[in-house]
Structure 1
Amino acid sequence: MRFPFHDMGAVEFSDPLPEAVDLAVIGGGVIGVSTALFAARRGLSVVLLEKGRVAGEQSSRNWGWIRVQGRDMAEIPIAHEAQDLWQALDADCGGRLGTRTVGVSYLARDEGEMAAFEGWLEEARELGVSSELLGRTEMLRLLDYPRGSWIGALHTPTDMKGEPWVAVPELARLARAEGAAIAESCAVRGLDRQAGRVTGVITERGRIRTQAVVLAGGAWSSLFLRRHGVDIPQLAVRSTAMATQPLPEVVHTAAVDDRLAFRPRDDGGYTLAPAAFGELYLGPDMLRHLHHYLPLALSGEFDIHPRGPQPRHWPDAFSTPRHWSGAEESPFERMRLLDPAPNADKVAEVIALFGAAYPWAGEIALHDSWAGMIDVLPDVVPVVDHVAQIPGLTVVTGMCGHGFGIGPGFGRVAVDLATGRDPGHDLSRFRMSRFFDGMRLKPGPSL
């Protein structure tokens, strides 16, 4: 049996489109769904518009970690808020989100990695993290005595996990129950504007009047923005993951080293992934923005591998249109679901690595494997900002693989930004202008 995000399936959310709303949200991933939920709780009329299926892309394909550990300092306060929200939302959903505190560990093979962990912890400690450094004996005990050459770990006992392909649709059901309208298989072709300001959205099923739009389109965000004359250096990398069949409980916590990531799942299996391994496909945006990414590439801190041209209809394929009218079929309708194939060699390698660490687990049978396209930015932190050129448009994108866990936090923030309220956090790190104002980019942690 394959997980449901591999195909479009039946439409679950098919609410009639309202004529006008206080807020329109583009993108049915965890951030878009959370934005719609908190807007409804604020008493706003809100519609969530998704070209394919809720959580059909990266929001259901991630590792399921809800972590504070290893984040950029500017993200930590929002990640703390998100963890509180996940627990409250799980209660609201009757415990169906799969949220559980399991702890997260980053495993070190040498003193250099331990020093990097210590450097992050020294800076993060004043932000109230529960993280701690563990020596080899403590680390082995925590991980149920795996076989491996690790010398220690950075461990955060309060970090959590959820079940992404279950949790995000459950949050959408909660949002609809609280008043949000949700329309799947309804692409937004563009913005309606007067004197440059947003006055509505143009969908494949008609126009909706609104003066406030939140774009949370993941790997598709930069394509949507470029159609409106806004350019951000966002790319997307293919990331592979997999799930095992149920196993004996070999380890109860989540951990990652330079090659392997794992965490327990509610069905008795484990979600596994090849750590920071990603694949970057050639496309026009990649070529145009290569200069933004060169410092990151030359640092050697990320395991990114170049690949050939993006396949037809992908966001950065050479054949994908960059301009179209509201009356024309958009690229978002030509590819309702971006479902890249996983890297089969990495799947086999990761299963072997997990089996070598826990040989007493016995034969490790694969339940399913998949890939997703992670939206990235050159400094490994997102854009969460108003679009200065288009009053009324707020963008929340480029989560760089951090989006699931922090999603409810940024969803709540997005509602405040879109409605002119104080979001309660310093968002200057996430401003869109940082790529073009001449200031040197400061990459986020590569932990």
Structure 2
Amino acid sequence: MAPAIAPVKTSREFPASTTVVVIGGGIVGLTAALTLVERGIPVVVLEKGRIAAEQSSRNLGWVRKMGRSAPDVPMSVASDRLWAEMPVRLGADVGYKQAGIMYLSRTEAEMEMHRGWLKTVADLGLDSRLLTQKDIDGLVPGGKERWAGGIYTPSDGRAEPTLASSAIAVAAIAKGAVVVENCAVRTLALSAGKVTGVVTERGEIRCDQVLLAGGLWSRRFLGNLGVSLPTLPLICSVIRTAPMEGPTEIAVGGPDFSFRKRQDGGFTITQRGALIAPLSLDHLLLGLKYLPTLKGTRGLLRLNLGRHALRDLALPRRWGKQSVSPFEKVRVMDPPTDARINAEAMRNLTAAWPGFSSAVIEEAWAGMMDITPDSLPVIGPVAKIPGLTVASGFSGHGFGTAPAAGQLAADLVTDGTPIVDPAPYRLERFA
């Protein structure tokens, strides 16, 4: 079951041509479209299912710099500024608040990791700081567990996934963007190897540039064009509680739980130490690229060979312009919630903060993330196909960095001055 998002009245119009087509109606693609239309550039967003129906509305809503690799921090810093400007830019509240984010550690080894990270970002001007047990008790009262320490970034924050993408889409439409739902792009139209348009299930749209922001579907779309985008799926299960009193406005991540206050008064809770890795053919094709990453994820990943693997095998990896594409066969990726993992989350959380024992669970859902080998997204042109730019592989960080990531994608599509250095995000790094 997916969380309900604010409704958006999208277009029934199907234009014959435009300047830029954005494939994917998630938060990054929508932000790119908003940026483009604000610059006077005609843009059409094509979404195979519903706006923000996948990870853009299913994520935790964290907006953080803490824990990001040094090359990725400028993107997060830029996004902080853009999130703060959203209410005026959109004329709508997206629930953004700089309430801080905290990570907790049970062991000195975990604390040493935080100390090491602080050293790597020491010159970047962040307000992150280490915490003692006394600090934790003062910031998040009512806890019972004894911690080795923690790390805290007061300027990190949160926003509401069920509000943000819708508000961005509404603003983009009001400024002239065309957003079409239930319209899958099957492939690109090319002339002499260069993009001239997109071929959809409803016909062709001519355009000068295409931005692929298809989330976990981007790998399959590019594969059909002979381009490799190394991403693998991970599934996170999530809980939403009824409105309740809580210990803090700070979002808190323990080793095996997390919680953050919601605008509706409830909490979003997860088992932070457990993600489902649904095995598929791609694990055989890409596994070696992920070996360095796997060394630091012991106990985090729970392998699953089930419905996802069968569905993945049933979907084609090659198809033509006249063929029904995988994106028409699966309009919305809606992975099953893992009730056992959610139960673990509540047990672990209530052991640490007993006040959550009175929490009433109102909803649960799961979301599927697209993970790259280095956990950084790909944002940049595809050299093999002039006119095609990719913004995918956000590895669970897309919501928080979406304002700057979408703007960077728009900058690159139009040869503008990039909001941040795009070098860390080049597709060629995986060559």
The TM-score normalised by the length of structure 2 is: 0.96
Match of 1:241 among 214, 234, 238: 238
Q: Please list every run of 5 or more consecutive structure 2 residues that lacks an aligned counterpart in the other structure.
A: none
**Is the CA contact 1:351–1:364 (under 8 Å) kept in the aligned structure 2?**
no
**Is the CA contact 1:313–1:335 (under 8 Å) kept in the aligned structure 2?**
no
Task: Please give the secondary structure, in 1, of the residue aligned with 2:358.
Answer: coil
Q: Please list every run of 5 or more consecutive structure 1 residues that lacks an aligned counterpart in the other structure.
A: 437-447
Q: How does 1:305-320 map to 2 (within 5 A)?
A: 305-311=302-308, 314=311, 317-320=312-315
Query: Is residue 2:157 matched to residue 1:189?
Result: no
Shift in Å at residue 298 of structure 1?
Answer: 3.4
Aligned to 2:350: 355
Cα distance in 2 for residues equivalent to 1:226 and 1:64: 30
Cα distance in 2 for residues equivalent to 1:63 and 1:424: 25
Shift in Å at residue 259 of structure 1?
Answer: 0.4
Q: Which amino acid aligns with 2:355?
A: W
Cα distance in 1 for residues equivalent to 2:56 and 2:7: 18
Q: Which amino acid aligns with 1:269?
A: G
Shift in Å at residue 144 of structure 1?
Answer: 2.0
Shift in Å at residue 410 of structure 1?
Answer: 0.5
Residues 332-375 of structure 1, C-alpha deviation per residue, up to 9 Å, x if partnerless?
01111111111100111111222222223452211111111100
Q: How does 1:24-423 map to 2 (within 5 A)?
A: 24-300=21-297, 303-311=300-308, 314=311, 317-423=312-418
Task: Please give the secondary structure, in 1, of the residue aligned with 2:130.
Answer: strand
Shift in Å at residue 297 of structure 1?
Answer: 1.9
Quickly say closer, same or farther: Cα 1:183–1:95, change in 2 above 3 A.
closer
**Is the CA contact 2:233–2:370 (under 8 Å) kept in the aligned structure 1?**
yes
Cα distance in 2 for residues equivalent to 1:187 and 1:276: 35
Shift in Å at residue 276 of structure 1?
Answer: 4.1
Residues 176-233 of structure 1, C-alpha deviation per residue, up to 9 Å, x if partnerless?
1111110011111110000110000111111111121111111100000001111122
Aligned to 1:4: 4
Give me the identity figure in percent.
38
Residues 125-171 of structure 1, C-alpha deviation per residue, up to 9 Å, x if partnerless?
31121111111111211112412121221100011101101111111
**Is the CA contact 1:263–1:271 (under 8 Å) kept in the aligned structure 2?**
yes
Quickly say closer, same or farther: Cα 1:213–1:85, change in 2 above 3 A.
same
Residues 300-338 of structure 1, C-alpha deviation per residue, up to 9 Å, x if partnerless?
457112110453785xx1111011111121110111111
The TM-score normalised by the length of structure 1 is: 0.93
Quickly say closer, same or farther: Cα 1:92–1:428, change in 2 above 3 A.
closer
RMSD: 1.8
Quickly say closer, same or farther: Cα 1:118–1:11, change in 2 above 3 A.
closer
Cα distance in 1 for residues equivalent to 2:263 and 2:297: 35
Cα distance in 1 for residues equivalent to 2:322 and 2:76: 40
Quickly say closer, same or farther: Cα 1:235–1:310, change in 2 above 3 A.
farther
Q: Which amino acid aligns with 1:307?
A: N
**Is the CA contact 1:38–1:412 (under 8 Å) kept in the aligned structure 2?**
yes
**Is the CA contact 1:2–1:367 (under 8 Å) kept in the aligned structure 2?**
no
Aligned to 1:443: none
Cα distance in 1 for residues equivalent to 2:12 and 2:159: 27
Task: Please give the secondary structure, in 2, of the residue aligned with 1:379.
Answer: coil
Match of 1:425 among 411, 420, 424: 420
Cα distance in 2 for residues equivalent to 1:63 and 1:125: 27
Task: Please give the secondary structure, in 2, of the residue aligned with 1:425.
Answer: coil
- Aligned pairs, how many? 431
Cα distance in 2 for residues equivalent to 1:44 and 1:102: 35
Once structures 1 and 2 are overlaid, which stretch shifts more, 116-125 or 42-51? Answer: 116-125
Cα distance in 2 for residues equivalent to 1:273 and 1:361: 13
Which portions of structure 1, spanning 4 or more consecutive aligned residues, are displaced by more than 6 angstroms?
none
Q: Which amino acid aligns with 1:196?
A: G
Q: Which amino acid aligns with 1:3?
A: P
Once structures 1 and 2 are overlaid, which stretch shifts more, 128-137 or 370-379? Answer: 128-137
**Is the CA contact 1:21–1:210 (under 8 Å) kept in the aligned structure 2?**
yes
